[in-house]
Chain A
């Protein structure tokens, strides 16, 4: 149930090649997150899996059987769209029941399942409303309800939270995570928000220009990014990169060090600089330090760190936290 495998899948729209060639294994019950910058082909890849776009080449296997030419309705997948794509003229109840109705399920059984889904998503009070009379978060839950009632082999989410405000996003993130714990169904989730990716995923797939840069668990990607792109993409604030002299002393073309792996001191250290902007977040302070040797480095300090604009500061990178990259941007062991 729910294993998905892509073999040399590629996609071109006319002349534009959006996805050159992708191999990917998703095992049953896994929560896989696709991340990447805007326009890198995340949605396209998801739509290929859903069957909403035809592949230009390659094979898609769902549950071990070739589904490359299977129409979307026969793949047994459910999708939650970024715009929710609820049916505006149907009540919430009929929206959630729609896939069951299409499957020809008997009315009582369908109503039972709708009620169960609504109860688990806190939608019971809204069952008779139209989507237009719901808030963004409620709509999102209806879309999820519509996806879960038919008990699919896998869920596909395309940036489901990007239309919600920050607080609601955190809430819904937890709910989706809980849903995955409950159902244990495979989920593929597209986002460009790396916090969502880190918190939700069992496995993150980092995409760039239609290519997979790295696949791994959130912590693997954080600890051992395979290349400069992944190193810069995962982690917030982003990793600092230093080339030239400092890098050569470590035997690399470029070295990276995360803001949280720099020890700060107002008296002595390896690199000296002046504090530029200091962003006080309460729990943390992010310092943008202009090094005396040129270049700017972001460093994380605790919330009470006593510096202000223009003060002198010394940074000492923690020796075992360096990431070393060669001239092509690939990780050196």
Chain B
């Protein structure tokens, strides 16, 4: 792409892709924004009318809105903490020359291939169910009262399920990063007198910083919009205990047939996600340069 001519040709050639992508993004976004200013209820079709900011007013003053914000943040932060710490530990473990390393690696990646709905259902019915679940069975076999995970600690249970799903992703990325660490650096630090803990703190952890940043950024984007796991396990309940922003938009627009209100919620969610993204980029994005 050195010459003026080839640059012009390159522009021309990427135009269709850019136009397609822009259309792909902008048309739904535009429609959502447009709907959010309408009084648009599916129970009363044909009566759409312009209402200005009323939808936003109702969405933002809805008592479940602040619950949803809090739940979204709890979910994101909880899962991030577990996946990043667990991912680092698992990556360190898998990087050791152990017997059956290949099989162990495949097994660790496996949860990633299970669909969210399926894995959530398996957790709900086969592990966490207070009557038939494996955990209940284990509790009973040592003489304890079974614990109703989704009833008593719904948010913690969902965090557990989602973490289980995303742990492989974090592990995989961190493991590749770990394998790219120059062994001579580790040996040099060993000769410099650093024990295993100091080697981790001063050599391994800084080396993993960039990969960790990538994991956090990508995970945050996905975790802000967790939906399937909540739908098939708790339905956002009990009360609003596990309703996050995505789920709130769903209850608004689909359960109450209020397309206008749902769209307003959607726009609010987009804005919040962008705030989080900017905040994250500011905070940890500097790890990505250099």
Return chain B residues, CB-CB under 8 Å to A50: 191
List, sorted by A's number, 23 A–B pairs whose CB atoms are closer than 8 Å: A51-B191, A72-B191, A73-B190, A73-B192, A77-B191, A78-B191, A79-B188, A79-B191, A81-B184, A81-B187, A83-B182, A85-B182, A85-B187, A87-B188, A87-B189, A87-B202, A90-B202, A98-B202, A99-B193, A102-B192, A102-B194, A146-B188, A150-B193
Return chain B residues, CB-CB under 8 Å to A77: 191
Q: A103 at the A/B interface (Cβ < 8 Å)?
A: yes
B107-135 residues at the A interface, CB under 8 angstroms: none
A150 touches B190 (CB 8 A): no
B146-199 residues at the A interface, CB under 8 angstroms: 182, 184-185, 187-195, 198
A246-264 residues at the B interface, CB under 8 angstroms: none
Q: B105 at the A/B interface (Cβ < 8 Å)?
A: no
A30-64 residues at the B interface, CB under 8 angstroms: 50-52
Q: B203 at the A/B interface (Cβ < 8 Å)?
A: yes
Residue of A nearest to B209 (CB): A89
A99 touches B184 (CB 8 A): no
B191 touches A87 (CB 8 A): no
B183 CB to closest chain A CB, in angstroms?
9
Residue of B nearest to A149 (CB): B192
B200-252 residues at the A interface, CB under 8 angstroms: 202-203, 206-207, 209
- On whether A150 and B206 interact (CB within 8 A), knowing A52-B187, A81-B187, the answer reads no
Interface residue ranges, B against A (CB under 8 Å): 182, 184-185, 187-195, 198, 202-203, 206-207, 209, 290
B147 CB to closest chain A CB, in angstroms?
44
Of the listed residues B190, B194, B209, the one surrounded by the most CB atoms of chain A closer than 10 A to its CB is: B190
Residue of A nearest to B194 (CB): A102
B229 CB to closest chain A CB, in angstroms?
37
Return chain A residues, CB-CB under 8 Å to B189: 87, 98, 102
B187 touches A146 (CB 8 A): no
Residue of A nearest to B207 (CB): A89
Q: Give the CA-CA distance A86 to B188 in the complex, in Å.
A: 8
A145-159 residues at the B interface, CB under 8 angstroms: 146, 150
Q: Give the CA-CA distance A73 to B187 in the complex, in Å.
A: 10
A83 touches B193 (CB 8 A): no
**Chain A interfacial residues counted at CB < 8 A:** 23
Residue of B nearest to A132 (CB): B290
Interface readout for A162-191 with B: 1 if CB under 8 Å, 0 if not?
Answer: 000000000000000000000000000000
B78 CB to closest chain A CB, in angstroms?
29
A85 touches B188 (CB 8 A): yes
A103 touches B193 (CB 8 A): yes
Query: What are the nearest 4 A-B pairs in CB distance?
Result: A102-B193, A85-B188, A99-B192, A85-B184
Interface residue ranges, A against B (CB under 8 Å): 50-52, 71-73, 77-79, 81, 83, 85-87, 89-90, 98-99, 102-103, 132, 146, 150
B214 CB to closest chain A CB, in angstroms?
16
A239 CB to closest chain B CB, in angstroms?
36
A83 CB to closest chain B CB, in angstroms?
5
B184 touches A72 (CB 8 A): no
B180 CB to closest chain A CB, in angstroms?
12
A85 touches B185 (CB 8 A): yes
- On whether A81 and B188 interact (CB within 8 A), knowing A87-B202, A98-B202, the answer reads yes
B191 touches A73 (CB 8 A): yes
Q: Give the CA-CA distance A103 to B198 in the complex, in Å.
A: 11
Q: Give the CA-CA distance A85 to B209 in the complex, in Å.
A: 19
Of the listed residues A52, A77, A150, the one surrounded by the most CB atoms of chain B closer than 10 A to its CB is: A52
A73 touches B194 (CB 8 A): yes
- On whether A87 and B203 interact (CB within 8 A), knowing A73-B195, A102-B198, the answer reads yes
Of the listed residues A50, A98, A103, the one surrounded by the most CB atoms of chain B closer than 10 A to its CB is: A98
B199 CB to closest chain A CB, in angstroms?
10
A72 touches B185 (CB 8 A): no
A288 CB to closest chain B CB, in angstroms?
41
Other 16 A-B pairs with CB < 8 A, given A73-B194, A98-B194: A51-B191, A52-B187, A52-B191, A72-B191, A73-B192, A73-B193, A73-B195, A77-B191, A79-B191, A86-B185, A87-B185, A89-B209, A90-B202, A98-B202, A102-B189, A150-B192
A146 touches B192 (CB 8 A): yes
Residue of A nearest to B188 (CB): A85
Return chain B residues, CB-CB under 8 Å to A99: 192-193
Return chain A residues, CB-CB under 8 Å to B290: 132
Return chain B residues, CB-CB under 8 Å to A146: 188, 192
B207 touches A72 (CB 8 A): no
Return chain B residues, CB-CB under 8 Å to A79: 187-188, 191
Q: Give the CA-CA distance A72 to B188 in the complex, in Å.
A: 10
Q: Give the CA-CA distance A87 to B207 in the complex, in Å.
A: 9
Q: Give the CA-CA distance A294 to B193 in the complex, in Å.
A: 60
Return chain B residues, CB-CB under 8 Å to A52: 187, 190-191
Return chain B residues, CB-CB under 8 Å to A72: 187, 190-191
Return chain B residues, CB-CB under 8 Å to A85: 182, 184-185, 187-188
Return chain A residues, CB-CB under 8 Å to B182: 83, 85
Return chain A residues, CB-CB under 8 Å to B202: 87, 90, 98
A292 CB to closest chain B CB, in angstroms?
53
Q: Give the CA-CA distance A103 to B187 in the complex, in Å.
A: 16
Q: Give the CA-CA distance A150 to B191 in the complex, in Å.
A: 11
Q: Give the CA-CA distance A89 to B189 in the complex, in Å.
A: 13
Return chain A residues, CB-CB under 8 Å to B207: 89
Return chain A residues, CB-CB under 8 Å to B191: 50-52, 72-73, 77-79
